[in-house]
Amino acid sequence: MPPLTPARTKYRKTQKGSLAGNAKGGDTLAFGQFGIQALGRGYFTGSQIEAARVAINRHMKRKGKVWIRVFPHKPVTKKPLETRMGKGKGPVEYYVAAIKPGAVLFEVSGVSATIAREALRLADTKIPIRCRFISRDEQV
């Protein structure tokens, strides 16, 4: 299965933009009982999202439910190796999700806290950003 990519976009290539500030929305648990919340900022590629999802599902042995709260909308371009400067922007290589501190990345429910904590810890190892485990009872 190919990594996550948008079905269609308004513009094929975008500018870099900024990662300043904290997450405006998606910073609390909305669906599941447990989740992981980003503490740092950075880019999360479609392949990394997929690897984290697989790690969660494997540990939970496909019991319970998993929600992916981020999607890679931002295209990242790359010029071919040994190409001289100029001649325009390179082709789109992959897509990323821009992650700001506070964003909830994954949520799970239907499993015990210990299984959820371990599953989300395994997912955290696939994520290039520091995260923490959160649960609904701590959030109140």
Q: Is 86 left (phi over 0), alpha (psi -120 to 50) or beta?
A: left
* Predicted pLDDT at 76: 96
Tokens of 97: 């999700």
pLDDT beyond 70 at 132: yes
Tokens of 60: 């939970």
Q: Looking at residues 90-96, what average pLDDT do you find?
A: 95
* Predicted pLDDT at 62: 84
DSSP letter for each residue of 25-41? S--S-SSSSEEEEE-S-
pLDDT beyond 70 at 113: yes
* Predicted pLDDT at 2: 66
Stated length of the chain = 140
Q: Crossing angle for the helix pair 113-124 and 46-59, nearest 10 degrees?
A: 150
What are 100-110's pLDDT values in tens digits?
999 999 999 99
Domains of the chain: 34-139 (3.90.1170.10)
